[in-house]
A and B are shown apart, each in its own frame.
Chain A
Amino acid sequence: MAPPFRPLLPSGWTEHRAPNGQFYYYNAATGHSTWERPATVPPPPPLGPPHMSGGIVSHSFQPMPTVIKPIPDTKWSIVFTTEGNEFYYNSETKQSVWQVPEEIADAVKSFKETEEKNAQALHDTAGVKRKANDEEQMTSEEVKRAKGGLDNAANEGTEYEDIAFQLQFMEEQERQEQLSTTGSGDSGDNDNSAVHEIGDKDSQTQIKDKEVELSSEERMLMFKSLLRDMDVSPFAMWEKELPRIIHDPRYTLIPTLKQRKELFDEYCKERVVEVRAEKINKAKDLTAKDEYLSLLEEETSHRSHWDSFRKRFKKDPRFKNFSDDKERERVFRKHIHELKEVEAERKRIQQKKAQEDFMKLLREMREIKPDSSWRKVKRLIDDDPRYVAVQSSSLREELFREYCQKLEAEDEEEMTRKENERKQRERKERYSLKNREAQVRGERRYQNYDRNAAKRKAMRVKSILAFQTLLTDLVRTHEVTWDGKKHSLEQDPRFYGEGLEDNDKERLFNEHIGEIYQKRLKSYHQLLSEHVKLDTTWIEIQPTIKEDPRAVRLSKNEALLEELFDKYLAREIENAKKEFLELLKENQFIEYRTRMVQLSENGAKDETGAEKEKVRGLTKEEIHDVLKDDNRYLVLSHMPEVRDELITEYLNNVEAPKMTVHQGRD
């Protein structure tokens, strides 16, 4: 497969062609693949580390026989693999290691020395062997790299699967190639037969009695023992188990991956039977134990003994189906121990209850005092079942003493409690007495306050009255001010009435002069009404009234009097107008006639009929005539134009709304 001019590949590596035709290199043992051709390594250091044998035996070197040589005086053998490696195998522990175990280091050394001597005699094959060895060894560096690759393969799940997938088809290819070149045979046996041939030749020429070639059967067994040692599950995935077993020397005993896979399947087939059997046995053991336990449950008590139990049930299937006597006894003892613990616990609870009940019994005996005698009390209660339940008489007495102490403590407690209560009660009483006193004091204070207020109020009224008489006596005109008059008022003792403040006095003073002013204004109005008509002017009247005391007393100020006159006259005119309108309203005749006029003008018939033609509007004279005797008419005689205006206005007012009413009726 590899072109002849190319250097040999290190052991474990195979050459392949990628889909694009490019060569790549694959190490089945490490799962490592690379485009670069791995360099052939120089001769290795003595006792170099193990190399990871590849899954596919390279066709470019001659396979070596697998040989096992027991190392004298040890349990170990040295195994030479088909690829020229060696490892050590312990036939007793089934352990396989690459490195020389320390315990046999000397033995190996001397063994090797003798081998060396033998080897010199066996020139041909030994030469081949060494050559192969040199070519196939890897440097320690290479191993590290390979191991790194392997770890990666284990970690990154997909890698090993890809490898396996690839490998499967590479082997297929391989098989086809072999078929086409050899034209016969089965690929599986091909390698083996080659090994056998060489092995046979070896044994014919060199193998001494101590040296035994491993048969393919043995190799297969060792490979399977590897799987077993790694506890590979029969349900495992082959590709996933690969990284776990690849380190082991026994892995290399089988030359191709395909064969390894087949052995793996075989191993699984055997193992699954065992696993099933184990499972069934386990289940059986479990039921047997269950049944044995139920036997113990039913037939033992905390007082049972092993020997008698065994004698009694040794023929019972529940007894004999379970394990062996040793285990039966162990389980029995464990069970009895548990029962004893349960029993002890039950007793403890029972005793506790009995003691509590006994205490209750004592408490029911009211006549027991702290200093009662046990001898006497005992006689009172010794027929009670609660007395009997406490079996030890010394315990009963002890409990009684305990009870008496308790009683004493309780009595003491009771006394302190009562003492405290008494103290508290006294404190409370003192407190409530104080409270009452305070209340009474408060009430008295309130009553005093009340009486004083009434007194003060009466005094104030008296003072006000006194002050008012003072004002009446001393203030006879409204044309004074508080500040101007205050001084003269202060001369009188009535000014100092009890309970009167300064502002009270000022207020009373202002009220007083206000009253005087109103009285005098009223008199002035009276005076005016005696002389004034509605058209009277100030100039006309002023001479008439100016000497009248009713004017003089109000004010000597003519301008002020004129102003008051104007106000008076304006009000009088307003009143006269209002009253005249009242007069017009009161006089229905006017309204009636006005309506009649309106009806006839509209051509409507009048119910009275006769006067139809005569209907006409009342003249102003007629209206005046009707009203002329009324004082309210007469008052306005001084303002006839105003009176006429009012009449016209009234007539307009009467006509307008009534018109609408009539039209609405038609």
Chain B
Amino acid sequence: MPKIRHARTKKPPEGFEDIEPTLLEFARKMKDAENEPHEGKRRVESLWPIFRLHHQRSRYVYDLYYKREAITKEVYEYCIKHGYADGNLIAKWKKPGFERLCCLRCIQPKDTNFGTTCICRVPKSKLEAGRIVECVLCGCR
């Protein structure tokens, strides 16, 4: 989980100031989520809020650049470089079938019990009816 650094060595590109308040808010929430006590929760569960924020933040930057065209390439790259968005996750979103991928872990075969990708990647139609689906990796389901 990349940390946001405020002591930037290089001055951020022009236009970064438009999105900085939202990014700072994300950073604050991420910190809160990391410091959240996790008594009474399964270990995996305590990580879910962090995965969500991570996803949401990357999505925000992704949308700004590709959908809203509201930020420049420089600002976009600056965000990736400084950990405001997950470049690898975004790269996946650009591929067909992965447009809404929750996180990178859920497509890592070795991370699951069965050597396959996470259950959350299986289309509902392919699942047995009434089966309980739970993504334990990031909690997206």
Question: Taking beta carbons and an 8 Å cutoff, which residues of A are in contact with B?
Answer: 17, 19-21, 157-158, 161-162, 164-165, 168-169, 172-173, 176-177, 179-180, 234-240, 265, 268-269, 272
Contact = CB atoms under 8 A, between A and B. Distances in A.
A560 B132 CA distance: 142
A177 B125 contact: yes
B38 interface: no
Contact of A234 (B70, B135, B139): B70
Nearest to A173: B124
A161 B19 contact: no
A165 B60 contact: no
Given A169-B100, A237-B60, A268-B67, 8 more contacts: A162-B52, A165-B55, A176-B124, A180-B123, A234-B68, A235-B64, A239-B56, A269-B67
A161 B124 CA distance: 24
Given A19-B141, A180-B125, A234-B68, A161 B132 contact: no
15 contacts: A17-B132, A19-B133, A19-B135, A157-B29, A161-B52, A164-B56, A169-B100, A176-B123, A176-B124, A234-B70, A235-B18, A235-B70, A237-B60, A265-B67, A268-B67
Identify the 4 closest CB pairs spanning chains A and B, nearest first.
A180-B125, A19-B134, A268-B68, A21-B132
B98 to A, nearest CB: 12
Majority SS of interface residues in chain A? helix
B113 to A, nearest CB: 16
A337 to B, nearest CB: 37
Given A19-B134, A172-B100, A234-B68, A265 B63 contact: yes
Contacts of B130: 21
Given A265-B63, A265-B67, A272-B70, A235 B22 contact: yes
A169 to B, nearest CB: 6
B102 interface: yes
B87 interface: no
Contact of B22 (A19, A165, A169, A237): A237
Given A19-B132, A161-B52, A176 B125 contact: yes
Contact of A161 (B56, B68, B71, B134): B56
A158 B49 contact: yes
Interface string B52-81: 110110001001100111110000000000
Contacts of B107: none
Contacts of A20: 132, 134
Nearest to A239: B56
A237 B61 CA distance: 10
Interface in B94-136: 100, 102, 123-125, 130, 132-135
Contacts of A176: 123-125
A68 B124 CA distance: 38
A17 B129 CA distance: 12
A620 to B, nearest CB: 119
Contacts of A161: 52-53, 56
Contact of A177 (B18, B102, B124): B124
Contact of A158 (B29, B67, B68, B70): B29
A269 B67 CA distance: 7
Contacts, number: 67
Contacts of A180: 123-125
Contacts of A269: 67-70
Contacts of A239: 56
Interface residues of B, number: 31
B6 to A, nearest CB: 19
B140 interface: yes
A40 B18 CA distance: 45
A169 B140 contact: yes
Contacts of B70: 234-235, 268-269, 272
B68 A272 contact: yes
Contacts of B132: 17, 19-21
Q: Which of B19, B52, B70 has most chain A Cβ within 10 Å?
A: B70
A239 B29 CA distance: 14
A180 B132 CA distance: 19
Contacts of A265: 63, 67-68
A238 B70 CA distance: 14
Interface in B22-50: 22, 25, 29, 49
B102 A169 contact: yes
Nearest to B60: A237
Contacts of B19: 235
Contacts of B123: 176, 180
B42 to A, nearest CB: 11
A193 B28 CA distance: 43
A562 B135 CA distance: 138
A240 B60 CA distance: 11
A181 to B, nearest CB: 9
A203 B105 CA distance: 52
A544 to B, nearest CB: 129
Contact of A236 (B22, B100, B133): B22
A30 to B, nearest CB: 20
Nearest to B49: A158
Contacts of B125: 176-177, 179-180
Nearest to B123: A176
A659 B16 CA distance: 117
B68 A165 contact: no
Contacts of B133: 19
B33 to A, nearest CB: 8
Nearest to A268: B68
Contacts of B52: 161-162, 165
B134 A168 contact: no
A164 B56 CA distance: 9
Contacts of A165: 52, 55-56, 140
A165 B56 CA distance: 8
Nearest to B26: A237
A179 B123 CA distance: 10
Contacts of A238: 63
A265 B65 CA distance: 11
A170 to B, nearest CB: 10
Contacts of B56: 161, 164-165, 239
Contacts of B139: 19
A17 B124 CA distance: 12
Contacts of B140: 165, 169
Nearest to B53: A161
A269 B68 CA distance: 4
Contacts of B18: 235
Contacts of B141: 19, 169
Contacts of B55: 165
Nearest to A181: B125
Contact of B100 (A158, A162, A168, A177): A168
A173 B135 CA distance: 14
A172 to B, nearest CB: 5
A164 B22 CA distance: 16
A520 B101 CA distance: 144
A161 B30 CA distance: 13
A24 B62 CA distance: 31
Contacts of A235: 18-19, 22, 64, 70-71
